[in-house]
Amino acid sequence: MKIIEIEGGRQLSGTIRVSGAKNATVALIPAAILTDEEATICNVPEITDTDALCDILKILNVKVNRSTESLVINTKDMKNVSIEEEYSKKLRASYYFMGALLGKYKKVEMYFPGGCSIGARPINLHLKGFEALGATITNEKNKYIVEAKELKGANIYLDFASVGATINIMLAAVRAKGKTIIDNAAKEPEIVNVATFLNNMGAKIQGAGTSTIKIEGVDHLHKCFHEVIPDRIEAGTYIIIGALCGNPLKIDNVIPEHVDALISKLEELGINMEVGLDYVTVLNSPEILKATNIKTAVFPGFATDLQQPFTVLLTQAEGRSKVTETIFENRFMHIPYLKALGADITIKNQTATIDGPTKLKGTEVVATDLRAGAAMVAAGLKAEGKTTITNAEHILRGYEQIIEKLTAVGAKIRIKEI
Ligand code: EPZ
């Protein structure tokens, strides 16, 4: 098991460069099999989720040429084999191979995807979309077989603006016969990045980034080149770390519109920032932070993935703050560990109430999921003394070179195998 050790209480200054977006990359890699030729994707983050998806490409006999932060994916000799549980359970996003293989071969056999324990995370909306396109679904002991004689365009309404369902249905529909409309589609930037990639291959997708996506099915998808957008959640995590202990800390390669909700909440707290064209500099962490409330929402609302690191910042605000999590039912697993570090937090239903400011003192904590792990890193950097984070593998799934990036701006942080 990997553990991260941090000597906290230090001011961080310098520049951190944001990598390619994990939540775009994990959809782009499965989407790449839809081409009949070759797809080149650059700005791919070197994170363990990328490794896990490339392993699945290999069992599908897809040729993957991987160099620093880029992938060349060639499907010439590809085989549509069953994706076994040992591969699919490594990450939730393995489910994008359902839409991609269904879209390409009209048949997919795979096990239910893994992922964080932040909620039940059913895939009913994905399956509803596949059925609307003409597929039948059998599910024996967690193994899904999804197949269709023919995939025909359909009008699909999503009861919830699910990111995964929106992307998965898009993947299944790009080569279906006729027109598909996805209503109440999710509008996250990663969806736009995937739609752009597919259109670069010759797909006909309109409206990505709005709540209505129109897809005209095509027969052939050709060679293309594509770039992963910067990771807005990685960016937001480092901006929050800057607010905790930056003096100053510049986060580079950011699309500011993608972190609008976070920036406005940080301004409410009284954080001094400079927001440039493609960077955010946190000038210093002020003495007094004003308490504020956040409620997570779908994009462009406050990102649920930033709720956990942001809660760390609220422990330093003067007064009572509230955090309401509306997207996932079990996304407060970081809170017991924040309390062990000295935070004063109570939870009632989906709302955490934080009274501050409280001094954080280093101790042993656990990364229960990816963003809870990021919250532990943020808290450990702020806390006086040593913080040890176990299950650090979770963190490496979504933060490329996190040890190197933080060390370069003055953090005393290291990772070791035990
Ligand atoms: C994506 O998860 C992200 N993961 C999550 O990031 C992110 O938190 C989430 O979108 C919301 O923005 C990836 O992109 C790989 P959803 P996804 O479908 O697609 C319910 C991270 O830390 N739902 O929008 O699973 C679901 O249970 C991860 O990087 C259904 O009920 O999110 C949840 O409560 C964590 N049925 C809500 O909708 C369905 O068929 C949002 O899920 C699908 C979803």
CB of 117 within 8 A of CB of 71?
A: no
The DSSP 8-state label assigned to residue 350 in this structure reads T
pLDDT tens for the chain, 418 residues long, are 999 999 999 999 999 999 999 999 999 999 999 999 999 999 999 999 999 999 999 999 999 999 989 999 999 999 999 999 988 888 889 999 999 999 999 999 999 865 558 887 889 999 999 999 999 999 987 899 999 999 999 999 999 999 999 999 999 999 999 999 999 999 999 999 999 999 999 999 999 999 999 999 999 999 999 999 999 999 999 999 999 999 999 999 999 999 999 999 999 999 999 999 999 999 977 778 999 999 999 999 999 999 999 999 999 999 999 999 999 999 999 999 999 999 999 999 999 999 999 999 999 999 999 999 999 999 999 999 999 999 999 999 999 999 999 999 999 999 999 8
Whole-number Cα distances in Å, 153 to 81, 132, 177: 25, 8, 6
Q: Which of 162, 192, 306, 368 to mutate to test the pocket of ligand 1 (most atoms within 8 A of CB)?
A: 162
CA of 161 to the centre of ligand 1 (A): 9
Q: Name the token pair of 22.
A: 């994990």
CA of 251 to the centre of ligand 1 (A): 26
pTM of the model as a whole: 0.97
Cβ neighbors of 229 (< 8 A, separation 6 or more) are 20, 21, 24, 43, 189, 190, 192, 193, 255, 258
Check residue 114 and give its pLDDT: 56
CB of 136 within 8 A of CB of 111?
A: no
Nearest CA to ligand 1 atom 25: 164
CB of 356 within 8 A of CB of 319?
A: yes
